[in-house]
Structure formats: structure tokens, C-alpha cells
Amino acid sequence: MLVLGIECTCDDAGCAIVRDGCEILSNVVSSQVDLHKMYGGVIPELACRRHVDTLLLVIEEALRIAEVSFSDIDLIAVAQGPGLIGALFIGLAVAKALSVAYQIPFIGVNHIEAHFYAAYMSSKTTSFPALGVVLSGGHTSLFLIKELGFYEKIGETVDDAIGEAFDKVAKMLNLPYPGGPEIEKLALLGNKKRFSFKGGRIKNKNFDFSFSGLKTAVLYQIAREKQMAEDHILSLETKRDIAASFQESALTYTVNKVIQAAHTYQVTTILLGGGVTHNRRLRELFTLTDATLDYRWPGEGLSLDNGAMIAGLAYHKYQFQKKGDSLNLEPSLHASL
């Protein structure tokens, strides 16, 4: 079964052609980083205007690379949400229009579920139950995966998402957007022990996350360091040490929670997804903290937002419901699965 998957939930427009849930024939992503960089974050109105200009071109390119046409496609899938409302509307409108024009069933899938499905489709031999972990710019969520399609949410962030915290700290250090990769680069040469920043504690809710306290601690430290500097400008060394110390505390806090959840729920397989899984120190810390667990990472091109994870997941959803969704399907802003 050939599925065309559309991802248009934030600032990237993606389209992929995937056979039977895992064989990726093409996976095209048009990034908007150039557009939003000068503002230090995503401007929703600009993102939507760019999607209107590029989404159809991205779809054409995905078909061209896969060497297929609409007559070969069995299902059109789209990320229904959560995401930016305007972007979701554009993705859904395009998917529905193509479905009507070419008489192909259409289906909406959850963006968060698709992120941990990305790790599943990359490894194939996953056994359930497993833990699903999404660490992205918009979400930090933990799910117990009983089997594909059956989930129990066991934790989420109560304020900023982990990627958002990376982006905000990067902005405080005058680094370009998106900040995650910039912090990681800067941290490589920094002293992670120089500052002690602490991840937030959540009363009674073991597996929820909080990053806003950590972010504020960094903000105050930057102000103190600037005050102490003769020219009131951060030295490169201090910037590096702040990046390294922040990264280490954000990641250690996250890794410990995830591993604790795996032990509590007695699962050994962990599917991880979302842009922050690009971070090498994150991967290293997981293995250093508990090498007995089986970590499954998204393959090449599957960490950040992409159409392949949407097409792959839609294949299973379609097998399960045995029909497409109604054309009345609306964007969904909720992460619930």
C-alpha cells in the first residue's frame, strides 16, 4: 500500500511516499529556517504564507523522487495536529482537496504519535509494551505504548517543551534560531560543571516535566555574569560554560525521568522522537545512565518534522479502521492520543 504523507504543523512543509508503513520511497522537507531566523522564532503568519507557496511543490517533488503519480497512491495522510492552527488548516485543506480530486481516501494522524512512530519505523522489530518519548520544540511527552494505537499518557511538560527551552536559552546567548543545535555546538567546548542549574520539581506528578525554572535560572545567571564582566558582555568562555551547564541539566533531568518511568512501568524498549533526539549528548547520557534499556532512535531524516512518519503511521491507522476519515475532519490542537 502506497501512502502519501503530508506534514504541515509548524514551520516545515514535508511530504513523503511510504510503502506498507516503513519503506520510504521519498521524504522531502522544505525548511523555513531562513524565513524565521531573523525573528529568533517562528512567526505563524509568515509560516502559513510560505506553506501556501511551497506545499504543493513539495508534494510534486516527493512524487517525482519516488517515481510515482497520484494514480499509484492508495491513501493520502496528513498530520491533524497538534501544531500551529493556520499551518494545520493548510495541510488538511490540501490533503482533502487531493483526496477529492483524485478519489483517494484520506486520513488524519496525530503529530505526537507520529514522532515516536518514526523510531518504530526505523527499527521494525519493536516489541510492546514500550515507552514513547517525544522531545521536540512543541512537546515533551511520555506515553506507555501498549501496542500501536493504544496509549496511556504518563507525563508531559507543564510549561515549556524541552526544545523550546533550548531555543529560548540560545536566544539569551544571542545564538541563531533554531537554538538546539547551536547550544549543542557551543556546549562541546564548555565546562558543564561550572554552573549548577536545576530542572523543575513537580509535586505528586512524577513523570511530568518543567523547564521554565531552569530557563529562568539561566536568565539570572547571564545577568549576573554580564554585571561582573568589565564590558558587561559575556565572554566566549562563559557562553560556552552556560550552554554546557544548561544542556547537561536539561538532558540529565529528562533522561532520569524517562529511565525512572521505564522502570516503574517495567518496559525495556524506549521509542524516542522529535528534534531534540538529534542531540548526541542526550543519546550518550541515556546509555551512560542505563545501558540495559533498548533505545530506539529515529533514522536519518526522521527526527525533525517530516512526512514519512505521517505516511507510515497512517498505514497502520487505515488497517485498523479499514476506512479513511470524513472530509469534515478538523485540525486538532490537543496532544491527547
Question: What is the CB neighbour count within 10 angstroms for residue 268?
Answer: 14
* Binding site partner of 199, from Zn ion, ligand KG4, none, Cβ cut-off 5-8 A by kind: none
Interacting residue with ligand KG4 among 166, 197, 211, 297 (CB under 6 A):
166
Residue 184 binding ligand KG4, by CB under 6 A:
yes
User: Residue 304 binds which one of ligand KG4, Zn ion, none, with CB within 5 to 8 A depending on kind?
Assistant: ligand KG4
Q: Of 98 and 113, which has the nearer Cβ to ligand KG4? A: 113
276 touching ligand KG4, by CB under 6 A = yes
Stretch (H or E) spanning 306: none
By the rule CB under 6 A, 181 interacts with ligand KG4: yes
- Contact positions with ligand KG4 (CB under 6 A) in 3-42: 10
Per CB under 6 A, the segment of 85-93, 95-103, 233-241, 270-278 that binds ligand KG4 is 270-278
Q: Binds 181, which of ligand KG4, Zn ion, none (CB < 5 to 8 A, cut-off by type)?
A: ligand KG4
> Applying CB under 6 A, does 304 fall inside the site for ligand KG4?
yes
Choice from 21, 190, 275, 298 touching ligand KG4 (CB under 6 A): 275
The binding site for Zn ion (CB under 5 A) comprises 136, 305
| 67: alpha, beta or left? (left if phi > 0; alpha if psi -120 to 50) | left
CA angle 213, 216, 221 (to 5 degrees): 125
Residue in the block written with cell 498505514: 315
Task: Give 203 or 280: the residue with its C-beta nearer to ligand KG4.
Answer: 280
149 binds, among Zn ion, ligand KG4, none (CB under 5 to 8 A by kind): none
Stretch that binds ligand KG4, among 28-36, 143-151, 163-171, 220-228 (CB under 6 A): 163-171
Q: Which is nearer to ligand KG4, 307 or 324 (CB)?
A: 307
Min. distance of Cβ 93 from ligand KG4 in angstroms?
Answer: 20
The DSSP annotation for 5-47 comes to EEE-SSS-EEEEEEETTTEEEEEEEE--HHHHGGGTS--HHHH
Per rule CB under 6 A, is residue 305 in the interface with ligand KG4? yes
Percent of the chain as helix, strand, coil, to the nearest 5: 45, 20, 35
Q: Exposed (0-12), middle (13-18) or buried (19+): which is 56, by Cβ within 10 Å?
A: middle
Q: How far apart are CA 40 and CA 119, in angstroms?
A: 29
Task: Give me the torsion for CA of 175, 115, 250, 174, rounded to 10°.
Answer: 10
Q: Per DSSP, what are the bridge partners of residue 109?
A: 79
When asked if residue 143 is in the footprint of ligand KG4 (CB under 6 A), the reply is: no
> Least distance to ligand KG4 from the beta carbon of 135, Å?
8
From the CB of 183, what's the least distance to ligand KG4, in Å? 6
The bridge status of strand 13-19 relative to strand 75-81 is unpaired
Residue 212, judged by CB atoms within 10 A of its CB (0-12, 13-18, 19+), counts as middle
Burial 76-110 (b: 16+ CB within 10 A, else e): bbbbbbbbbebbbebbbebbbebbeeeebebbbbb
Residue 331 interacting with ligand KG4 (CB under 6 A)? no
Q: Which of 178, 199, 307, 312 binds ligand KG4 (CB under 6 A)?
A: 178
By beta-carbon proximity to ligand KG4, the closer residue of 132 and 275 is 275
Nearer to Zn ion, 136 or 247 (CB): 136
